[in-house]
């Protein structure tokens, strides 16, 4: 018997090892983010915190952790749902839809609460998702092969349209420019705000999402297979989409529409997880958080005393990484043709 379970024990040990490693990585990134910022200060001054710098950096880091994890998870869930490794809230236009809705709200009701912005953004995300489903002709899972290319193409159209509209709305008004131009390029908020609703929503959803993994995995075996094992596939799709759109809405409400993270982090997490969605989920949390915290920290340090927004850093690093992913994704097809 021990010989049979040996492989399992090994795989469990390496899972725990990887997870601990990733969490340590996140701790390290968090420390960096707290220590280094646009203003160079000594460690002593920072710890005494006469300027309130540490507090503002803490809030900013917590935001980056939540948003990074939220983007990674919504990407992971979308990829498992569509069976398409290119699906993520950025490329599918879901984040852009959320951003447009948030801007429209801000335009007509300038002093909306964080919760109102979150709800508007989630609605926008949901609407973009709905549009995508129809444009891409997505028949979940069973027709996934056919939508391999249509999904990102339709998403790109939605993303471009929504972001163009949102930017246009921002540029019409000096007040709007002052408040949202940073946000639309993916800046993590600098000043601590009392509105912590989006952060709370993300935390709750990240826990709830973990419990949909079983169902989602079952659905990825096919809608009929899921039904025959007693789990209604439509309910799974609804649960996952609700989770994804609200995660996207909340993360956009905090930090604007960020690209690439939701694509790349799940890719790495799935590679590490060796075929278990729940493990990939647990890997994606610290990975996504670390990636955004790191991007934000780099952005604060490289252009002192100015700042490069995390969204721009993420795109800078994400572009080349995306090319790597594409090569990996396209390889089997090429091999097949040869």
Partner 1 sequence: MKQPLFDIQDLTVSLGAQRIYSQFSARLPDVGITGIIGPNGCGKSTLLRCLGGLATPENGSVRLRGVNIGQLSPIARARQIAFLPQEPPVLADMTVEGVVAKGRTPWRKAFLPSSRADRDAVNQALETTQLIELRLRRLTALSGGQRQRAWIAMALAQQTEVILLDEPTSYLDLPHQIRLMQLLRHLVDQQGQARRVVVVLHDLTIAARFCDTLVGLSDGKLVCAGPPSEVLTPKTVMQLYGLRAQVHPDPVFARPVVYPEE
Binding-site ranges for partner 1 (CB under 8 A): 4, 7-8, 11, 80, 83, 141-145, 211, 214, 217-218, 220-222, 224-225, 227-232, 270, 274-277
Nearer to partner 1, 6 or 172 (CB): 6
Q: Are 322 and 264 in contact (CB under 8 A)?
A: yes
CB of 277 to partner 1, least distance (A): 8
The CB-of-186 to partner 1 minimum distance in angstroms stands at 29
Compare residues 280 and 293 and give the one whose CB is closer to partner 1.
Answer: 280
Which string of DSSP letters, residue by residue, matches 240-298?
Answer: HHHHHHHHHHHHHHHH----SHHHHHHHHHHHHHTS-HHHHHHHHHHHHHHHHHHHHHH
Nearer to partner 1, 11 or 167 (CB): 11
Q: How far is the CB of 269 from partner 1 (least distance, A)?
A: 11
CA 226 to chain centre: 27
Shortest Cβ 286–partner 1 spacing (Å) = 20
Whose CA is closest to 120, among 141, 106, 136? 106
Measured from the Cβ of residue 219, the count of other Cβ atoms closer than 10 Å reads 27
Q: What is the DSSP code string of 52-112?
A: SHHHHHHHHHHHHHHHHHHHHHHHHHHHHHHT-TT--TTTTTHHHHHHHHHHHHHHHSTT-
Closer residue to partner 1 in complex, CB, 63/81: 81
Q: How far is the CB of 138 from partner 1 (least distance, A)?
A: 12
Between CA 81 and CA 217 the distance in angstroms is 9
Enclosing H/E stretch for 299? helix 277-301
User: For residues 177 and 228, which CB has a smaller minimum distance to partner 1 in the complex?
Assistant: 228
Q: Which is nearer to partner 1, 47 or 337 (CB)?
A: 337
CB 17, min distance to partner 1, A: 16
Write the CA distances from 241 to 149, 159, 210, 300, integer angstroms: 20, 18, 14, 34
DSSP string, 18-45: HHHHHHHHHHHHHHHHHH--SS---HHH
Residue closer to partner 1 (CB basis): 138 or 184 = 138
- Choose between 19 and 157: whose C-beta lies nearer to partner 1: 19
């Amino acid at each position: 018997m021990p010989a049979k379970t040996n492989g399992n024990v090994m795989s469990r040990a390496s899972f725990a090892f990887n997870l601990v490693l990733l969490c340590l990585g996140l701790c390290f990134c968090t420390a960096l983010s707290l220590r280094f910022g646009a203003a160079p200060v000594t460690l002593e001054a920072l710890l005494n915190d006469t300027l309130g710098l540490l507090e503002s950096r803490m809030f900013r880091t917590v935001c980056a952790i939540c948003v990074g994890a939220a983007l990674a998870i919504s990407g992971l869930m979308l990829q498992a749902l569509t069976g398409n490794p290119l699906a993520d809230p950025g490329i599918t236009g879901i984040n852009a839809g959320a951003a447009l809705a948030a801007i429209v709200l801000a335009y007509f009701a300038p002093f909306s609460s964080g919760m109102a912005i979150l709800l508007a953004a989630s609605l926008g995300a949901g609407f973009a998702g709905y549009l995508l489903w129809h444009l891409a002709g997505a028949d979940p899972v069973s027709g996934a092969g056919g939508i391999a290319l249509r999904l990102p193409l339709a998403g790109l159209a939605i993303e471009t349209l929504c972001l163009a509209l949102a930017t246009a709305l921002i540029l019409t008004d000096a007040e709007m420019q002052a408040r949202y131009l940073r946000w639309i390029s993916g800046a993590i908020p600098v000043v601590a705000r009392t509105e912590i609703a989006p952060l709370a929503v993300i935390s709750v959803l990240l826990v709830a999402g973990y419990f949909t993994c079983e169902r989602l995995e079952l659905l990825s075996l096919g809608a009929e297979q899921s039904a025959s094992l007693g789990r209604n596939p439509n309910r799974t799709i609804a649960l996952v989409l609700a989770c994804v759109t609200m995660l996207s809405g909340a993360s956009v409400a905090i930090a604007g529409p960020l690209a690439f993270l939701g694509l790349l982090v799940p890719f790495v997490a799935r590679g590490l997880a060796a075929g278990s969605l729940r493990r990939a989920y647990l890997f994606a949390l610290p990975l996504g958080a670390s990636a955004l915290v790191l991007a934000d920290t780099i952005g604060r340090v490289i252009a002192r005393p100015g700042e490069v927004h995390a969204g721009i850093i993420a795109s800078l690093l994400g572009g080349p990484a995306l090319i790597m992913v594409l090569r990996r994704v396209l390889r089997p097809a090429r091999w097949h043709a040869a």
